[in-house]
Amino acid sequence: MEDDLGELIYLADPPGTSGHVVSLRVLKPPSPGRDFLDCEFVVETETVKGSFPVYVTSDDLDDWEEALGMLAGNRFVSWLNSGRTVQFKIKPVSPGVITVSVHDGPSSQVTVSVPLFPATGWIDDQRARLEEVRRLLSG
């Protein structure tokens, strides 16, 4: 992607496996007077590739930080639950396996769920991504 602003979320299977990827890409920095980021969820599997536009606010980032804490405790999380946008869920299934779902409730009603085998330290990686995006938003 040209002028890559980063990914708030990047979850992927290790190389040589199914190749599932779920990410939340930042598309452009906030405009003056706007306190949100234009982003898109991207889900890629062997047979499906989809993207879902979403706006992310600073409150959403706070909620994501809380969700990461819950995930560190091996608990189910549901993020962006306001009904105004795409809903994102992560469910720990077994050690080293999570199920990730993206539900486009307000628009298409499409839900895509994929199993993922994220690398060790994936939660710390998501926290580092969160801090990068916060810097962008506070800009």
Give pLDDT tens digits for 27-43: 987 777 777 899 999 99
pTM score, whole prediction? 0.91
Give phi and psi for 98, each to the nearest 5: -130, 155
Tell whether the model's pLDDT for residue 5 goes beyond 90. no
The tokens 């299977």 sit on which residue? 13
Domain ranges of the chain: 7-138
Q: How does pLDDT run across 61-95, given as a tens digit for each residue?
A: 999 999 999 999 999 999 998 888 899 999 999 99
What DSSP designation does 30 have?
P
Mean per-residue pLDDT, 113-133: 95
Beta bridge partners of 116: 98
**pLDDT at 2 (0 to 100):** 42
Q: Measure the CA–CA gap between 14 and 8, rounded to whole angstroms.
A: 19
- Determine whether 76 is exposed, middle or buried from the number of CB atoms within 10 Å of its CB (0-12, 13-18, 19+): middle
Give the H or E element holding residue 73.
Answer: none
What single-letter amino acid sits at 104? D
CB 54 within 8 A of CB 33: no
CATH class of the region 7-138 = mainly beta
Residue bearing the bigger pLDDT, 93 or 137: 93
